[in-house]
Structure 1
Amino acid sequence: MSQLSRLISILTLLKSKRLLTASELAKKFDVSIRTVYRDIRKLEEAGVPVTTIEGRGYSLMEGYSVAPVQFTEKQANALITAEHLINQSKDASFIKDFNEALTKIKSVFRTSIQEKSELLQSKIHIFNPTYENISSNALSEIQLAITNFNFIEINYCKANDTNVSFRKIEPCAMYSTQHKWILIAWCHLRQEYRSFRVDRIQHFKILQEKFEDRKFNLLTYFQSCPYREK
């Protein structure tokens, strides 16, 4: 990879990620850390406001904008394919937010890429033989609660149970399996981590009240506690 191509790639990465270390960049581009230092200086000399956070890495100054990137045909095809997969989700809020984001992304496609992506759009279909007609409209709000550490109050109905329970929870993480989104949260009723199917949350309220980060680790959770709906 030429230095110019690498500089453009580093700039794109800096724009897409809050913080990058020299070691991450060196590994990504298979260069030495000294080369990364030189690349960062080149960007700074070109007027790019790279902020160095001592002992942590590099980031871009807040509000700095980069000229629209150009997508290759394969990259555009990957987005179109992802659109079909996401549209299989049973959460209306997630589908809506993704499609709005994709519309913005498509706006920077070259005309030739746009035409081919529209052609591919009509030539992909995804079958779901294990269809279950249960939907939700909470995913996008719950994701915000996870990253902003907001408590959530939910009314929850377990499978094969007509009783609805009220829970106050600390949302920690999510995963998807068989087209269903699972929320892992600290449940104040049970005083432990519990798993909740998002499509079985009958009502929810995001509270302004914040909880303290418990440093939840998804991999550690899976290793110690297999999925059980609660």
Structure 2
Amino acid sequence: MNKTDRLLALILELQRQHTIRAEDLAASFEVSVRTIYRDVQALSEAGVPIVGTTGNGYSLMEGYFLPPISFTVEEAATLLIGTSFIDRQFDDAYRDRASAAGKKIEALLSDNVRSETSRIRGSMRLLDPYDQKALPHEKENLRQIRQAFSEGRKISFDYSKKNADSADSDPGRRTVAPYGLVFVEGAWMLVAFCDLRRDIRHFRLSRMKELTRLDERYELPAQFDLRAYIPADDRRLRIVLRFQPTVADEVGKSGYPYMEETHEVPSGLDVVLRVRRPDEVLRWVLGWGADVTVLEPKSFRERIREEAQKMLERY
């Protein structure tokens, strides 16, 4: 990053953070603290009202705002692709706002940049695993949860788990305090404190029904950070598979999320999966047909055999 770009980025960082230390700016831009001191001096001499407070850091004088700046082709394409994602996966309110934001961004672009940005967007397509938009009731759940989170209100809903052998499979009404929303593997998940389980639980929005916002209030724990949150790993079932050499390379590069270990063997590739329930990987294993053999556990071998027998009977 050259000095001019760094000075602009420094103003934007101050505008975003309000107050930030020279040490943190130096770490962010990968320069020395002395360089930050010189940059701040240069900006001050150029008329940017930067205030320095011992022990706190730098801040912009209240009321100062950087005028609109131009976007590069890559920056504009990135922002507009983001609006396309919101159009597919968010509720109507955010979709409308994304559309309005996209129009404002395009209005700022020069003819050349707008044309090139359009060409780049035309070469990309956002797909979820099944090339489907979020279901209408899922989007409504998303809207309700966003509203509840902003108001600090609990929600209640009927919830059904896909797998009946789950510890949380009992049907019925749930009351939870929303902690955050996560988009994973093409689906929205709610991270929330469940009153029934007295612990943090995860709920798929597509499986929620009759969701309502309650009058009961809650406060998000000060120590909870969704960006740093890592759920406890309760995948205790170990499944070992052996793949034929003809598909070993494809399997190894698949990036399958339940894959824990791989080992090359003379007869192919051994893969260790770590899951909560066999149903989580049943379809994936069946999808490899005769190119995979279940080595363990025996119960999963039997399950695959039963499924194969049902398929044979249908054909």
How high is the TM-score relative to the length of structure 2? Answer: 0.58
What residue ranges of structure 1 are gaps of 5+ in the alignment? none
Query: What does residue 16 of structure 1 align with?
Result: 16
Counterpart secondary structure, 1:224: coil
Inter-partner Cα distance in structure 1 for 2:40 and 2:57: 11
Report how many residues are paired: 226
| Matched ranges for 1:79-228 at <5 A | 79-89=79-89, 91-131=91-131, 134=135, 135-139=138-142, 142-143=145-146, 146=149, 150-160=152-162, 163-169=171-177, 171-202=178-209, 203-205=211-213, 209-211=217-219, 213-218=221-226, 221-222=229-230, 224-225=232-233
Report the more deviating stretch, 187-196 or 129-138.
Answer: 129-138
Shift of 1:106: 2.6
Shift of 1:2: 4.5
Inter-partner Cα distance in structure 2 for 1:79 and 1:39: 28
What residue ranges of structure 2 are gaps of 5+ in the alignment? 163-168, 236-275, 277-315
| Matched ranges for 1:35-114 at <5 A | 35-52=35-52, 54-89=54-89, 91-114=91-114
56 and 101 in structure 1: CA distance in 2 versus 1, 3 angstrom threshold: farther
CA contact (8 A) 2:181 2:188 kept: yes
Inter-partner Cα distance in structure 2 for 1:190 and 1:53: 47
Inter-partner Cα distance in structure 1 for 2:198 and 2:218: 17
Shift of 1:195: 1.2
Shift of 1:53: 5.6
Counterpart secondary structure, 1:8: helix
CA contact (8 A) 1:174 1:181 kept: yes
Inter-partner Cα distance in structure 2 for 1:164 and 1:223: 24
210 and 223 in structure 1: CA distance in 2 versus 1, 3 angstrom threshold: closer
Inter-partner Cα distance in structure 2 for 1:211 and 1:101: 31
Shift of 1:72: 0.8
Structure number with greater Rg is: 2
Shift of 1:175: 1.7
CA contact (8 A) 2:129 2:185 kept: no
Counterpart secondary structure, 1:216: coil
Report the more deviating stretch, 112-121 or 91-100.
Answer: 91-100
| 1:95-135 residue CA offsets vs partner (Å, 9 max, x unmatched) | 33333333333332222212222333444333444256633
CA contact (8 A) 1:153 1:204 kept: yes
Inter-partner Cα distance in structure 1 for 2:225 and 2:14: 25
Inter-partner Cα distance in structure 2 for 1:220 and 1:75: 27
